[in-house]
Amino acid sequence: MNILLMGLPGAGKGTQSEMISRDYDMIHIATGDIFREAIKNQTELGKQAQAFTDAGNLVPDEITNNLVKERLAQSDVKANGFMLDGYPRTLNQAQALEANLKDINSSLDAVIYIKVDPEVLKERLSGRIICRSCGATYHKLYNPPKVDGVCDNCGASDFYQREDDKPEKVSHRIQLQMDSISPILDHYRQEGILHEVNGQEDIEVVYRHIRDILGE
């Protein structure tokens, strides 16, 4: 089975992908892993991608699309199917994926979108705090220190929040992702392969819904 797993930051996509990988044979393919592997092996596409990342620039769609196509054509994927994570990020990439899968006589069976209200995502993402002394990570609501203001690990009382986790930055990040993901969801909805799962339920309940889509 070939699936695409989608969700906004904080929706729980990483947790669900780990559970799917645990219980199903399909190959988990994350775009970042593809980049790292290609750069490590210094493939032609890897060298091209590295030139952009080293310069601090985004890798162009054409190179990204070809790297994904190259990975999807490998024997382990053909034998077991795949779960694609972190791609496509644009409608152009979604259309390229469709064409590239057709070229290798493959296709998507399902697109699973873990849907969470943006306000809930902001709460999840902006609650993270980090101990400045030892680097231990907590969440103000979901995983606070056992004693308020005191690190469980080292006993320090100095916490900070990453710039990216501050509420205003989180809101901007979520809005950008929503603007990017909406046309992709519409595309797969029209294709009749989009399945929306309520990501605000308990983790195990969300996973049960996903298993219903994938089949036991």
Does the annotation place 97 within a ligand binding site?
no
Active site (annotated) includes residue 162:
yes
- Residue 118 contacts by C-beta under 8 Å, 6 or more apart in sequence? 8, 174, 175, 178
Active site (annotated) includes residue 89:
yes
Q: Which of 69, 89, 140, 189 is catalytic?
A: 89
Does the annotation place 128 within a ligand binding site?
yes
Burial 79-118 (b: 16+ CB within 10 A, else e): eebbbbbbbbbebebbebbbebbeeeebebebbbbbebee
Does the annotation place 49 within a ligand binding site?
no
Q: Which of 71, 122, 124, 173 is catalytic?
A: 173
Does the annotation place 86 within a ligand binding site?
yes
Q: Which of 13, 71, 122, 124 is catalytic?
A: 13
Active site (annotated) includes residue 128:
yes
Does the annotation place 149 within a ligand binding site?
no
Active site (annotated) includes residue 211:
no
Does the annotation place 208 within a ligand binding site?
no
| Count of Cβ atoms closer than 10 Å to residue 16 Cβ | 23
Active site (annotated) includes residue 78:
no
Q: Which residues are documented as binding site for Zn(2+)?
A: 131, 134, 151, 154
Q: Which residues are catalytic?
A: 13, 89, 128, 162, 173
